[in-house]
Amino acid sequence: ALFCPGSGWSTAGERPGGRLGRLHGVVPSPDAEHVLSPRLQAVASLVPRDCRAIADIGADHALLCMDLVASKRPGLRAVAIDRNRAPLEAGRKAALQHLAPGMVKQLDFRLGDGLSPLSEGEVDTVCVAGMGVSSILRVLGAGGEPGRLGTLGVDTLVLQPVSPRPAALHGLRKWLDSQGYTIDAEVISRVKGLFYITTRARRSAEKSFIAPGEGDFFLPQLIRRRALAGAGSEGDDEAENYLRYVSHHLRWEKGNACRKRGASCPANKRDNTGQADFLVQLLEEEVIALRAGGVTGGEAGGDEDEDEEDLVSSLP
Ligand SMILES: C[S@@+](CC[C@H](N)C(=O)[O-])C[C@H]1O[C@@H](n2cnc3c(N)ncnc32)[C@H](O)[C@@H]1O
């Protein structure tokens, strides 16, 4: 465990988005007007009530872990893992400043890569947020020692990639399925013009959706079911956001299909025009279904420029 008093993180404005503040059990501070950012609130909302111990990998300043031990679950243990020392040290200092002493004891700060600082049976839940899908998969051990998550005894994953492009999420969902995890909760959020799909997958969950065809892994099935079932009800933010998300990615995939056919597209990337065309059709059909079901809006899409590095460096 890393204990490093004396780092400089404690003043407002050093970090975009939310910052530790007004949490239950937190020692009041003069500038405690911030709460966990809406993006990270979506992650916190999917951490199961019965979670006993959680690891947040790529925890940065450990805001999520602090929020979880401070505001929600008495007795929960949380391990904040990051491969960079400085943000962890800053998080440790913030915890000492702002959390009640008993809560600080529930937190552990570990320097390391991905799952490697964890030992077997230590945590039942792992969160990864604020990275692209390929980084999340690397962190979770895809391509490494097979079944590492299972060996560790991780029952639940809560994942929130930046850039929730259907093709990327398809890869993530397929991998989860191959590892025996089933998606049992999904939320969509739109924060500062950017879409986030936060996914909870559980090893022991009942099958929540069956995947008879490839198409089923491209779309967030639980969100779409709710959107189609509740469509038409006024002020249904989730259904509207979902339509916006689909419309946005439809525009993006149409552009992508054109780019792949353009003369400037390298030959090795043209092979994939089939997937781009498939996605255009899938998303077009989804827009039609949602509109037919009474979902309105959807013209204004996300503002994301789809460059993953930009998205990671400017997380809301
Ligand atoms: C953009 S921040 C996201 C922080 C936080 N999870 C959030 O969503 O706001 C990504 C963090 O992940 C850490 N990170 C990236 N790859 C990692 C890995 N393989 N193991 C541990 N930490 C990693 C980085 O050092 C960085 O602090």
- Residue-wise pLDDT for 202-241, tens only, equals 996 566 555 666 778 999 999 999 999 876 677 678 999 9
Interatomic CA distance for residues 199 and 186, integer angstroms: 5
Could you tell me if residue 121 is left (phi over 0), alpha (psi between -120 and 50 degrees) or otherwise beta? Answer: left
How much distance in Å is there from the Cα of 136 to the middle of ligand 1?
9
pLDDT of 115 reads: 94
Residue nearest to atom 15 of ligand 1 (CA): 58
Of all atoms in ligand 1, which is nearest to the CA of residue 58? 12
Q: Is 117 in the pocket of ligand 1 (CB under 6 A)?
A: no
DSSP label at 26?
B
**What is the pLDDT of the chain when averaged over all its residues?**
81
How much distance in Å is there from the Cα of 110 to the middle of ligand 1?
12
Q: Above 70 in pLDDT, residue 300?
A: no
Q: Is 131 in the pocket of ligand 1 (CB under 6 A)?
A: yes
Q: Above 60 in pLDDT, residue 283?
A: yes
Residue nearest to atom 11 of ligand 1 (CA): 58
Q: Is residue 69 exposed (0-12), middle (13-18) or buried (19+ Cβ within 10 Å)? A: buried
Q: Is 162 in the pocket of ligand 1 (CB under 6 A)?
A: no
Q: What residue segments make up the domains of the chain, in order of their start?
A: 38-161, 229-313
Q: Is 118 in the pocket of ligand 1 (CB under 6 A)?
A: no
Q: Does the 38-161 domain belong in CATH 3.30.70.360?
A: no
Q: Extract the tokens encoding 83.
A: 């491969």
Who has greater pLDDT, 10 or 21?
21
How much distance in Å is there from the Cα of 91 to the middle of ligand 1?
13
Given a contact cutoff of 8 angstroms between Cβ atoms, the answer to whether 222 and 199 are in contact is no
Helix (H) or strand (E) holding 184: strand 182-191
Q: Extract the tokens encoding 122.
A: 């230590």
pLDDT of 188 reads: 96
pLDDT of 256 reads: 78
Residue nearest to atom 23 of ligand 1 (CA): 58
Interatomic CA distance for residues 239 and 233, integer angstroms: 9
Q: Is 313 in the pocket of ligand 1 (CB under 6 A)?
A: no
Q: Is 152 in the pocket of ligand 1 (CB under 6 A)?
A: no
Interatomic CA distance for residues 10 and 95, integer angstroms: 10
Interatomic CA distance for residues 50 and 68, integer angstroms: 12
As a residue count, the chain comes to: 316
Interatomic CA distance for residues 225 and 130, integer angstroms: 26
Residues 67-100 have pLDDT tens digits of: 999 875 778 999 999 999 999 999 999 999 988 8
Residue nearest to atom 10 of ligand 1 (CA): 58
User: Which residues face 233 on adjacent strands?
Assistant: none
Helix (H) or strand (E) holding 166: helix 166-178
Given a contact cutoff of 8 angstroms between Cβ atoms, the answer to whether 123 and 154 are in contact is yes
How much distance in Å is there from the Cα of 142 to the middle of ligand 1?
17
How much distance in Å is there from the Cα of 81 to the middle of ligand 1?
8
Given a contact cutoff of 8 angstroms between Cβ atoms, the answer to whether 160 and 196 are in contact is yes
Interatomic CA distance for residues 280 and 26, integer angstroms: 48
